[in-house]
Amino acid sequence: MERSTISDMILQNEMVLYGQPKWTFGKNTCNTYEVFVSYFRRHDGNLLPAWPILEIIEKDDALTMLFSISLLWDAVRKTVELSNRANSNLTLSLNVLPAFAESPNFVEQVKNCLAETGLPPRKLQFEISELQELSAEGCENLNYLHDEMGILLCMGNFGTHHTNMPLLHQVHFDMLELDKSYAALIPGNESACKAAVAIQHMADTLDMKMCAKGIENQDQFEFFEEIGAYKGQGALIGNPMTMEELEAYAKQYALEKGHK
């Protein structure tokens, strides 16, 4: 696909956002939702799967910046609208590409976006994959948003390949997201169960919470709830859904505003 075609789809706001719930164990509630681009809409109205296009975007610095800024603003606006319609204070969880986090205008873009839309900083969570390299500037920018504004930080895909342990003490993470490959082996694989318990203990020691991804059945749900995981995500809880479907889900499971 030509670069100009991708640029036009981004500029014309032809990114189709989906959301997936992150369930809070022990509370029977869900106020956190990961929002991402699932499709791009062509000029003829046809939808194109996002992943092949995102791979092109990540290899192009200018497209990465254009995409990241557009996604930030669109996702935050839609979260504020969804929160109002669901009468709840929803938390937006958003993946951030390192190139965007490292850019000189990253902090300013985030500040301006929150100020204009009215989303409280504590209701925004940035996810950074442990598989991605993050420069000192990126760490500094994220830590500033965390320490000075209260924006939440999450390390995603934890426990995959060569685990990026140094990133744990370079960035002030609030949460680890255990990669879905662990849940796929639980509860039948004893080693995977022990590893999940050990990672939960590590998170506790580091004053972090843990989110388990890839929960597809009740046995997995109960296992992670029992070991003290804070949140869970997966098909059992809810598959990726349109923003309209997400609104219905939030109205059913999110806490209403003013709830103590």
CATH topology for 3-253? TIM Barrel (3.20.20)
Strand partners, 118: none
Torsion of CA 254, 113, 139, 32, to 10 degrees: 10
CA distance 138 to 142: 6
Domain boundaries, the chain: 3-253
**Residue 118 burial (CB count, 10 A):** 11
pLDDT for 90-117, tens place per residue?
999 999 999 999 999 999 999 999 999 9
Please, are residues 49 and 18 in contact by the beta-carbon 8 Å criterion? no
pLDDT value of residue 260 = 43
Does pTM top 0.85 for this prediction? yes
Residue spans of the chain under pLDDT 50: 259-260
- Helices 61-86 and 106-117, axial angle in degrees (round to 10): 20
Say if CB 151 and CB 126 are below 8 A apart. Answer: yes
| Confidence (pLDDT) at 228 | 96
Tokens describing residue 161: 């390949």
pLDDT value at residue 166 = 83
How far apart, in whole angstroms, are the C-alpha atoms of residue 68 and residue 99? 9
Whether the Cβ atoms of residue 155 and residue 130 lie closer than 8 Å to each other: yes
The DSSP 8-state label assigned to residue 178 in this structure reads: E
C-alpha 160/C-alpha 170 separation (Å) is 19
Note the pLDDT tens digit of each residue in 153-177: 999 988 876 567 888 889 999 999 9
Amino acid type, 179? D
